[in-house]
Amino acid sequence: LRPKTFARIVRFNHSIVQHNCRPQQRMTDLAYATGYYDQMHFIKEVKAFTRQTPKTYFQGHPGSWSGILKNILSKHFGSQNPALG
């Protein structure tokens, strides 16, 4: 796993945690609060991980990102990764 990819995962996880703590927070404010350069950067990153817009993802998957992590690990390490259980 490349350091940049790891940093993206950590930042995305932080956005999920932040959203769970403050679900009424505007997506723009969430993006800035969690280290994204601007709203478009946040949208592109969420779409890259989830294939959904932030609004759609956060409405349908409150607090869940384990499936995304499995997909990322599978992509980088293949199905032989013991962490994928």
- How do residues 22-54 score in pLDDT, each as one tens digit? 989 999 999 999 999 999 999 999 999 888 899
CA 8 to chain centre: 8
Q: What is the pTM of this model?
A: 0.71
Range of the domain at 28: 3-84
Confidence of residue 58 (pLDDT cuts 50, 70, 90): confident
Report the domain count for the chain: 1
Residues 66 and 72: beta-carbon distance below 8 Å: no
CB atoms within 10 A of CB 50: 19
Mean pLDDT rounded to a whole number for the chain: 81
Per the model's pLDDT, the better-predicted residue between 58 and 40 turns out to be 40
Average pLDDT over residues 4-27: 89
The pLDDT value recorded for residue 66 is: 59
For residue 18, what are its two tokens? 């932040």
End-to-end CA distance of the chain: 18
The pLDDT value recorded for residue 70 is: 67
Residues 42 and 31: beta-carbon distance below 8 Å: yes
